[in-house]
Amino acid sequence: MSLYTFPKSRLSLALLLVAATNSGCLFFHGQRYHHFSTKTPLVNNHILVLGFMGGREPWNNHKRGVRKLALKLLSLNLPYLHVETVENKKRKLAIELIRNAFDRNLDGHLDQQECASVRLILFGHSFGGAAVVKLARQLKKMNIPVSLSVQVDSIGRGDKTIPSNVRSAANLFQRNGMIIRGEKQIEPEDPNRTAIIGNYRYDYRDKKIDVKDASWLKRAFQAAHTKMEYDPEVWAKVEEIILSEIREMTVDMPR
């Protein structure tokens, strides 16, 4: 599990603190489908990358690691690459986008050929990392493959086992947190179908990270977890993993 084993009262308090420090605006309405900019359906061989935000962060918060990386990937201006960020509670929106992106005959569902053509990369931080695994499980039931999943300090339940529809998976985590510790070791449901790229541990006992953009509650109660989100070394590694997968998927594409 990703959290310490606490007595029920302390665990409840810890979860309340997590919810409080991850919350956005009290009247936050959340993301809608029209916020996506990707035009669907995608051209054959095009790639869709979905980044899932942590906590209750809005999809377009450019100060957060997931959104920063998404914008950086978009800045590459690769014509075959489409990148969106998604709030971690909005997996239904993500599924709708995935279906629309690869439903090239526009009949409302993905047939066997369309499923086989899916080129999809998922990544996320914190509860967004948990959303990546949950979404991959939902997609497995729909026979939709995932080329790559990347979890950053994932704190959901059941984040350890990566479903067999995921081709490659990577996990970045820290174990310094008093309340929140990321999943330390992901494993494939089926080793013959999923390759684990690595479980990368980061140590924040003495590492100084600029977290001035984080709330004081996050800095106080989620110090290591917050440092990891603002650690440029972490996001450079995630970018490296994602770009490596993209290069592999596009090696035979005309330039």
- Which pLDDT does position 217 carry in this prediction? 83
**Residue 254 has what pLDDT?**
67
What is the band of 5 on the pLDDT scale with cuts at 50, 70, 90? very low
Mind listing the pLDDT tens digit for each residue in 62-85?
A: 999 999 999 999 999 999 999 999
In this structure, are residues 91 and 58 in contact, taking their beta carbons and an 8 Å threshold?
Answer: no
- Tokens, residue 217: 């509650």
User: What's phi and psi for 80, nearest 5 deg?
Assistant: -95, 5
pLDDT digits (tens, 9 = 90+) for 130-151: 999 999 999 999 999 999 999 9
Domains and CATH numbers, the chain: 8-249 (3.40.50.1820)
Average pLDDT rounded to a whole number, residues 225-232: 94
If you ran DSSP here, which 8-state letter would residue 41 be given? Answer: S
- Would you state the structure tokens that stand for residue 253, as one six-digit string? 């594409």
